[in-house]
Structure 1
Amino acid sequence: MNSIEGKVIKFNKPGELGYKRDCLNVVGKIICEKEINFKTYKNALLKMWGNPQEVAITDIGSKKLLFSFKDRKKGLQIMQNDLWNVKGNVVNLRLWREGESVFEVDHDFMKFWIQVHGIPHDLMEKETGIVIGEMLGVLAEAEDPKVDGVLRRSYLRIRVSINIIKALPTGFWLDREEMPPLWVFFKYERLLDSYCFNCGILGHEKKSCKNPTAMAC
């Protein structure tokens, strides 16, 4: 009998619509150091999502869960909302795309709403937020801080996909030419216990951190 190992096999795709096309399949990763209880996270997420109908949730190990939404619109709406968290731990939701193995779904990046504080008022423009967002990662959205030409807040607000394997950037020095450099700092919205305020890494608490301190002003 010939061994299947070492062979490269190609399958023909079904002609009719299959499981993946009918449903929206999403892989969520719990960003934490501790082991998780599958049932606890499953029940908590379903409750936060309003107990949507016809969604299957499977534990695939390594703190990852597979969510299969029959209602694609509902699944996309859940993904577009702000950070989901259970017991203070962020759940990073990513699409499982056709052609990928479930183990290839990339959880290294995550979208955040970020507040940019300390910008001089003459730079309080949407365009400034766009430049900062594109330097941070992949910019998804930049809000205009002005309504009818009037400032409505003292900071910029941007939504950016950032590499969470590295320390989250804390801010930057702004060159003001004839004035001293100014520290502009970031606030990440809805980050809870899973964010370490010592090193800036997601997934563990400050009390257990042995990493170098993240840059700060």
Structure 2
Amino acid sequence: MESLSDLWEKFSLLEFEGSHYVVEDSDGVSEYFLAARFYTGRMLSIEAIAKTLKGIWRTRRGFEVRDMGEHRVLFIFRDEVDVEQIMKGEPWTFDKHLVALQRVKKLTDLSKLKFETSFMWVQVHNLPIGITSTAVKSIVSAADKVFENSPDKEVYEGCNFVHFRVSIDITKPLCRGRKLALRDGQDSWVCFKYERMPNICHWCGKLTHMDRECPIWLKGKHTLKEVQQQFGSWMRAATPNLARKSVVRVAGFDENDSETEDRG
């Protein structure tokens, strides 16, 4: 069924219907908006959303939640810092399903919004020894647009992976990794794992629906078996133990012993 906002474009408008009313923003109230699409099949409860996110977001000045229909929600804030912190904390989930966010301006037509991206932290595992950070960034670009590396190099350089913040196109399957061609002519595979990964369809790898809603499953549910699934929970990154030392630098005999240090 067409939405009302699309339907009017086909109308032959009467004169008084087609005369434009100029909308102005003149109330002087500072408000900041986040539009959200909840990718869950369950009916949304605004009260449950407000209660859950209040404890997770811990905003400075609070926020208002409005149900906009079709699993879309509008959040209204009084403090821009709260909005910035929430956007930096992506991805967010509700009932383990993805919540895709967009920052929008006042007077935006929400019916025109398309929720197609979400930021995620991607861990890159099984990298060849000595590979440069520039090369790794090019490798992880297969997942989508790379924005930044680990926020704290000191903390993460001792881990057995590298860590990038990536803007993910949620209309596509999550990227599981990438093949490498090594100097000796052999092939290698690096594995991508996603921190705080929401529920994922194990058939097609998308975050926007579950297994039983997938076109692949609906088309072949009488013949498909779980062993044929190409995606799974193994793509979810474990939280690293940053307190555990995994790198120790040892000074040589010609160096000052004070230069020896532990790194996490």
What TM-score comes out, normalization by structure 1 length? 0.81
Q: Deviations over 1:8-47 (max 9, x none)?
A: 7362644x5645xx11100011122333223222221122
Unmatched runs of 5 consecutive residues or more in structure 2: 1-12, 218-228, 233-264
Q: Deviations over 1:145-166 (max 9, x none)?
A: 9649x94121121111111011
Corresponding residue of 1:195: 200
Corresponding residue of 1:140: 147
1:71 aligns with 2:82: no
* Structure with the higher strand share, 1 or 2: 1
Which protein shows a greater Rg? 2
1:3 aligns with 2:8: no
Asked if 2 retains the 8 angstrom alpha-carbon contact of 1:118 and 1:183, the reply is yes
The Cα shift of 1:180 comes to: 2.1
Identity across the alignment (%): 22
The residue matched to 2:205 in structure 1 has which SS?
Answer: coil
Asked if 2 retains the 8 angstrom alpha-carbon contact of 1:28 and 1:92, the reply is yes
Unmatched runs of 5 consecutive residues or more in structure 1: none
Structure number with the bigger relative contact order (C-alpha 8 A, sep ≥ 6) is: 1
1:182 aligns with 2:188: yes
The residue matched to 2:204 in structure 1 has which SS?
Answer: coil
Asked if 2 retains the 8 angstrom alpha-carbon contact of 1:126 and 1:144, the reply is no
What TM-score comes out, normalization by structure 2 length? 0.68
**Pairs within 5 Å for 1:162-181:** 162-181=168-187
Structure 1 letter corresponding to 2:129: H
1:129 aligns with 2:136: yes
Asked if 1 retains the 8 angstrom alpha-carbon contact of 2:180 and 2:190, the reply is yes
Number of residue pairs the alignment of both structures matches:
209
Corresponding residue of 1:153: 159
Asked if 1 retains the 8 angstrom alpha-carbon contact of 2:63 and 2:76, the reply is yes
